[in-house]
Structure 1
Amino acid sequence: MSWLLSYWKPALIVLFCFLAVWWFSHQRYTAGYSKANLEWALKWQERDADDATALAKRQAEARAEEQRRQGEIDAIEKKAEGQIAQAAADADHARAVSDGLHDEAAKLAARLAASERAHRAATASESTTGTTGSELLAELFRRADQRAGELAAIADQARIRGLTCEAAYGALTSAKVVEK
């Protein structure tokens, strides 16, 4: 212990020198470490910003494509609605013409029936039935024409809906559909 009391000043100086060297070397190490961390943090932030920008760009492009496709589908639907309305108008017109033909056929059948009845009245041997052949033929014609009109309307709507579906699919897949 006497040695420590006699050399305490140089021992303290050596201790301070040792602590100073350790302190400065530690500061340089942590300074380099901090600098490296800061550089990497900046790189990661830049990468994250680039990723966010790319994501926003992809989302904007996807929204634009979705809006384009929806616009095409809306236009296709509007066109189909117009075609269906035109087909319905054509069917109504055909029905009106058909009704006129049915009226004419009924008048002709009534004249023929009256003629047949008069002929039957002249010959008492034949039995009288309530309906003549011409009336049955006129009724058969009316029913067949009415059913044909119904089937034509169904076929027209099915065709228009099928073409609309093809056009909508083509718009979604960006393929051009040839109109028939």
Structure 2
Amino acid sequence: MSTIWLKALPYIAALLLALGALYGAYHHGVSTTNATWQAEWNARDTRDAQAKEQNEAAERAKEQARQQAINKVIQDGQQLIGQATADAVVARASADSLRGQADKLAARLTASKAGSNSCTAAASEAASRAVMVLADVLKRSDERSGDLAGFADQSHSRGVTCEQAYDSLGK
């Protein structure tokens, strides 16, 4: 039996060498394929990282542009509100002058009734009271309308500012 093994030994060695060569070729193919896929995977990861950086930079630029637009709108709105406030101050000064004139007229009518005849005194007193009431109503009405106009101007300015801020976000 030992002679059979001796005769088969070269064939077994050749078979083992052939199997070893086939396994080596298979292993080399698997290694090469894995290396190729790993290189492609790494290249894809690099491209993804670059695309992410580019997208972040583009979005950051858009965000900064929007913020600058909103800041400009706010600045313009503050100027509009400041102008409305200044206009309200000028209107209030003009209204104060008008109220002063009404007070002077009422005082003049009151002073003129003191030296009048007793027959016409009652009629004159009623007329002067009516003038004083009208002057007071005029003063209050003018003051209130000035306040409302100021509120309306500021509200309008704030609304325009808000609208412009909203419109700037759409760009």
TM-score by length of 1: 0.85
2:102 to 76, 100, 105: 105
Q: Which has the higher contact order (CA 8 A, sep 6+)?
A: 2
What SS does the aligned partner of 1:148 have?
helix
Tell me the matched-pair count. Answer: 169
Counterparts of 1:108 and 1:28, CA distance in 2: 118
- 1:117 Cα deviation from its structure 2 partner: 4.3
User: Any gaps of 5 or more consecutive residues in structure 1?
Assistant: 175-180
Q: Which runs of 5+ in 2 are unaligned?
A: none
Identity of aligned residues (%): 37
Matching of residue 146 in structure 1 with residue 143 in structure 2 = yes
Q: What amino acid is the match of 1:126?
A: A
Hey, what's the Cα distance between the residues in 1 that align with 2:108 and 2:35? 107
In 1, the alpha carbon distance for the partners of 2:37 and 2:69 equals 48
Report the structure, 1 or 2, having the larger helix content: 2
The whole-number CA distance in structure 1 between the counterparts of 2:110 and 2:7 is 148
Distance 1:126 1:101 in 2: 28
For residues 55 and 72 of structure 1, what CA distance do their matches in structure 2 show? Answer: 25
- Match for residue 83 of structure 2? 86
Give the Cα separation in 2 of the matches to 1:100 and 1:37: 93
| Match of residue 118, structure 2, among 117, 122, 140 | 122
Aligned partners of 2:121 and 2:88: how far apart in 1?
48
Task: After the TM superposition, list the runs of 4 or more consecutive aligned residues in structure 1 that deviate by more than 6 angstroms.
Answer: none
Partner of 2:162: 165
Residue 71 (structure 1) aligned with residue 68 (structure 2): yes
> Over aligned residues, Cα RMSD in angstroms?
2.0
SS of structure 1 residue aligned to 2:32: helix
Residues 81-130 of structure 1: per-residue CA shift (max 9 Å, x gap): 111111111111211121122112101111112223443x633983967x
Scaled by the length of structure 2, what TM-score is found?
0.89
Task: Show the counterpart of 1:28.
Answer: 25
Contact map agreement 2:113 2:121 (CA 8 A) in 1: no
CA–CA separation in structure 2 for the residues paired with 1:69 and 1:117:
71
Is 1:45 matched up with 2:42? Answer: yes
For 2:84 and 2:131, locate their aligned partners in 1 and report how far apart those are by CA, in whole Å.
Answer: 33
Cα gap change, 1:125 to 1:45, in 2 (>3 Å): closer
